Amino acid sequence: RKEVEQDPGPFNVPEGATVAFNCTYSNSASQSFFWYRQDCRKEPKLLMSVYSSGNEDGRFTAQLNRASQYISLLIRDSKLSDSATYLCVVAWGTLTFGKGTMLLVSP
């Protein structure tokens, strides 16, 4: 069973759309959760942490459901610059990365 599972996409959306990504993880002892962003042929970078109470950073909202072992990322008012691969990351000692969901925002 894969430790962190994501829909690979791609998600094709027009500018201004709202898009949501989901992720499930298998290790119930996982301690911390994150979303990283990876642009094409670039390195991953931390986008935001994910807290149980849910958290928001501008147009981005992350949610965690520990009971269902489920993490989500919502992007409102999509911009062309949001086009990237979004990696769901789970931490238990070290980081375990999902394979990522590709987002393509078109004009």
CB-nearer residue toward another protein: 78 or 86: 86
Alpha-carbon distance 53 to 93, whole Å?
A: 22
Query: Using CB under 8 A, which residues numbered 38 to 97 contact another protein?
Result: 42-46, 49, 87, 91, 94-97
* Unique residue bearing structure tokens 């409102």: 76
CB-nearer residue toward another protein: 15 or 39: 39
Can you give the three-state secondary structure of 15-40, one letter per residue?
A: CCCCEEEEEEECCCCCCEEEEEEECC
Q: Site residues (CB under 8 A) for another protein?
A: 32, 34, 42-46, 49, 87, 91, 94-100
